[in-house]
């Protein structure tokens, strides 16, 4: 089943579920992407630092789908922050992808100690105005970073991609996104499997006949957020996509909410550089 779509604050639409290609080896990225698109995925989330943008673009071409049917995300890495450096970095990404535009470009991390994310944002605004990038957003930004961006430029990100899973639910940040009109997108949505054995997940899995991973991905969907799980296996890709034919009950959603521990798998955005 093709994923539902969410509306971004610039009027464009984004598939609610897509393929994340972090840690997908470069030599199998094209095949993985083409397989996913053949199964019904329509969003491929990459980044310059992943080292597989060439395969990301090649997999899209191998799929045979029209360019307009596939949503491409990439990100500006920390070392490329700053206005002019960002312009060069995005052009390099376009070259590796062999595309004439990117659907969504994100600032990968705020890196507050570098204090370059506002200049980086101004570069993305310029690229959007020039048509090189269709939508612009951020990743791993905390409330203070978002408020500064908007306060200094007047341009609200369409999306903030954050670490989000049952052990790190980030309710306050998601509420801020809702107030600002920013789509929340989850990375590491399965939390490295740390919640697979949790009672609420197991109970929902037993009732629905779905796997723990599918239950957790469905939880994301019902929160109203976008989600980008990763798999390199055809069976895993199909399983992750097969979450639109069942619904968690209100009681199951409430039980999932009790799993929040504020526990990160990745770095702290306030200190990571």
Cα(15)–Cα(104) distance, rounded to whole angstroms? 12
Helices assigned H by DSSP within the chain: 26-39, 53-63, 83-97, 117-130, 143-153, 171-180, 199-208, 212-223, 234-241, 250-257
Task: Report d(CA 63, CA 41) in Å as an integer.
Answer: 11
Q: How far is CA 20 from CA 39, 213, 273, in A?
A: 15, 15, 22
63-68, long-range: CB within 8 Å, 24+ apart, which pairs?
Answer: 63/33, 63/34, 63/37, 63/38, 65/37, 67/99
For the record, the structure tokens of 26 come out as 């470069």
117 in catalytic set: no
**Whether 28 contacts 232, CB under 8 Å:** yes
Backbone angles phi, psi at 3, to 5 degrees: -60, 150
Find the Cα–Cα–Cα–Cα dihedral 62, 227, 40, 33, rounded to 10°. 20
3-state secondary structure string, 170-183? CHHHHHHHHHHCCE
Task: Give CA–CA dist 19/226, Å, rounded.
Answer: 11
**Residue tagged active-site, from 50, 109, 117, 121:** 50
> Nearest Cα to 15, choosing from 39, 35, 43?
43
Q: Which residues are catalytic?
A: 50
């Amino acid at each position: 089943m093709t994923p539902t779509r969410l509306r971004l604050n610039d009027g464009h639409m984004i598939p609610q579920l897509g393929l994340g290609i972090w840690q997908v080896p470069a030599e199998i990225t094209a095949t993985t992407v083409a397989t996913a698109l053949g199964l019904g995925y329509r969003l491929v989330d990459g980044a310059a630092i992943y080292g597989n943008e060439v395969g990301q673009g090649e997999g899209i071409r191998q799929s045979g789908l029209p360019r307009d049917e596939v949503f491409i995300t990439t990100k500006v890495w920390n070392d490329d922050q700053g206005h002019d450096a960002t312009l060069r970095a995005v052009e390099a990404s376009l070259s590796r992808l062999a595309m004439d535009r990117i659907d969504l470009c994100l600032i990968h991390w705020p890196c507050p100690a570098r204090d370059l994310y506002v200049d980086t944002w101004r570069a993305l605004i310029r690229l959007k105005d020039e048509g090189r990038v269709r939508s612009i957003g951020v990743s791993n930004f905390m409330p203070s970073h978002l408020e500064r961006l908007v306060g200094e430029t007047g341009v609200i990100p369409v999306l903030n991609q954050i670490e989000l899973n049952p052990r790190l639910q980030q309710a306050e940040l998601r509420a801020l996104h809702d107030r600002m009109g920013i789509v929340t997108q989850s990375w590491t949505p399965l939390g490295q499997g740390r919640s697979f054995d949790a009672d609420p997940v197991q109970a929902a899995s037993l009732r629905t006949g779905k796997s723990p991973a599918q239950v957790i991905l469905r939880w994301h969907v019902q929160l109203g957020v976008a989600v980008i799980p990763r798999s390199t296996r055809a069976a895993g890709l199909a399983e992750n996509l097969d979450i639109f034919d069942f619904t968690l009950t209100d009681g199951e959603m409430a039980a999932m909410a009790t799993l929040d521990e504020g526990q990160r798998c990745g770095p702290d955005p306030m200190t990571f550089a």
